[in-house]
Amino acid sequence: MQDILTPEFRETLVPRIKKTIEEAARFNSTPGDGITRFPFTKEAVQVCDYLEQVMKDAGLETSRDASGAVIGRIEGEVPRTILLESHYDTVLHGGAYDGMAGVVCGIEIARIIKESGKKPYYSLEVMATNDEEGSRFSSGFFTSMVVCGKVTPEYCRSDRDKDGVSIAEAMEAAGLDPDKLPQEPRKDIAAVFEIHCEQGPVLEQKGIDLGIVEAITGTHRVQIDLIGRPDHAGTTPMDMRKDAMEAASRLVISVTDRAKALGNAVTTVGRLSVEPCIVNIVAGKVSLWIDFRSTEKDKILAMRKGIDSDLEGLKKTMGIDCVLTERMIDWPVAMDEGLRARLRKSCGAIGVSHMDLPSGAGHDAQIFAEIAPAAMMFVPSIGGRSHCPEEKTDEVYMAMAVQAVCDTVMGINGDKCL
Ligand code: HGY
Ligand code: MN
Ligand code: MN
């Protein structure tokens, strides 16, 4: 790491970032076992109140949107708005930085611009988004999809969590009204920036301070229900069985081997349930979710086609009925070249090392990119770990990202170029 931070940054910005990350981490439904903050839960509502207060303390005008996002705004000379966003929800037993790092950095950038005392040309918004992960409900990217006018009240009434609670019911419990979800995209957003932990090992291994994202992976998720036949585990001959667990095991090996063979592709089966799930009964039904990704569209299509042929094979060879439900279809998205060039220039100006790299994780920025030019900046993840309690980033890198993105935003304001 290059020591470019002025004493002022080291004495104020870094400790303040650390404090906000630590305080936000308190709103957690699994204390002592990572961080869990699912959308519309008590912890989510609490962290929203906390973040709104931090935004107020930074001098921002705060508000909430219909999706449960928290917004801090600085009015500019024009209403067109530069958006700094990331999410406040987490996965189950996740870490303190995934999403929150970007929210905190966004607030610090807005604070610098506010404290400069100069009205920026473009308005600026920091947005703490809701349900980016899709860990509780099916879709994920909830706020960014709402801002794009793509979430209907009907969808919210149909999609349910594992306890059968619909998004709409969860929204109402959190004081939100699904019927107030905008059905048109926002038209005032001029550019989007998301700062995020890399969630991988590249920056740390190469000793690079900041990453400028080239493209965000496409992510598809399908739910597969494999319907076999429950039978006695002891008396049923192996050649008479319709064992849904055997079918699931064959499917998992096939889809993961396919991703390995394709290259620049990943496939994960991280969610599986068995019925009746009794040790001496052959599994009658297995439901599993397949998450498959690539930054290349044709590789996503190849993996999807492969799943179809695997299911046909299970039907033919094992007599297993297979039901596939699409749960997420997001295509790879290239980040805006012009904004990336500006970020590179800012990194050079403040003297931090940087490199271009793809994102294997999905992010709200890929959805916002549908309505405005979008760019992402990564900060290194220690050990490359994420989506686990060990997730950690040195806040000094976050302070560097604050400086770099702030420099870019100020440059855009000066050039009035959007
Ligand atoms: O799953 C992802 O890539 C992100 O963490 N939502
Ligand atoms: Mn994230
Ligand atoms: Mn995540």
The structure tokens listed for 48 are 């929203």
User: What CA–CA distance (Å, rounded) separates 62 from 58?
Assistant: 10
Contact status, residue 376 vs residue 405, Cβ threshold 8 Å:
no
Q: In sequence order, what E strands does 23-169 have? A: 61-64, 70-74, 78-87, 122-129
DSSP 260-302: HHHSS-EEEEEEEEEES--TTB--SEEEEEEEEEESSHHHHHH
- Which of 36, 196, 219 to mutate for ligand 1's pocket (most ligand atoms within 8 Å of CB)? 219
Give whole-number Cα distances, 209 to 5, 81, 334, in Å: 12, 28, 22
Ligand 1 pocket (Cβ < 6 Å) reads 132-133, 140, 361-362
* Structure tokens, 175: 């004081």
CATH topology of domain 7-217+332-415: Aminopeptidase (3.40.630)
Tell me the C-alpha distance between 341 and 364, whole Å.
21
Fold of 218-330: Alpha-Beta Plaits (3.30.70)
Give this prediction's pTM: 0.92
**Ligand 3 centre from 268 Cα, in Å?**
14
Atom of ligand 1 nearest to the CA of 293: 3
- Which ligand 1 atom is at minimum distance from the Cα of 291? 1
Q: Which ligand is nearest to the CA of 196?
A: 2
Q: How far is the CA of 121 from the centre of ligand 1 (A)?
A: 33
Pocket test residue of 93, 145, 359, 387 for ligand 1, highest count of atoms within 8 A of CB: 387
Omega before 358 within 30 of 0, i.e. cis: no
How far away, in angstroms, is 77 Cα from ligand 2 center? 32
78 Cα: distance to centroid of ligand 1 (angstroms): 34
Q: Please report, in tens digits, the pLDDT of each residue of the chain (418 residues total).
A: 445 567 777 789 999 999 999 999 999 999 999 999 999 999 999 999 999 999 999 999 999 999 999 999 999 999 999 999 999 999 999 999 999 999 999 999 999 999 999 999 999 999 999 999 999 998 799 999 999 999 999 999 999 999 999 999 999 999 999 999 999 999 999 999 999 999 999 999 999 999 999 999 999 999 999 999 999 999 999 999 999 999 999 999 999 999 999 999 999 999 999 999 999 999 999 999 999 999 999 999 999 999 999 999 999 999 999 999 999 999 999 999 999 999 999 999 999 999 999 999 999 999 999 999 999 999 999 999 999 999 999 999 999 999 999 999 999 999 998 8
List the chain domain ranges: 7-217+332-415, 218-330
Q: Is 4 exposed, middle or buried (0-12, 13-18, 19+ CB in 10 A)?
A: middle
Kind of pairing between the strands at 210-216 and 321-330:
unpaired
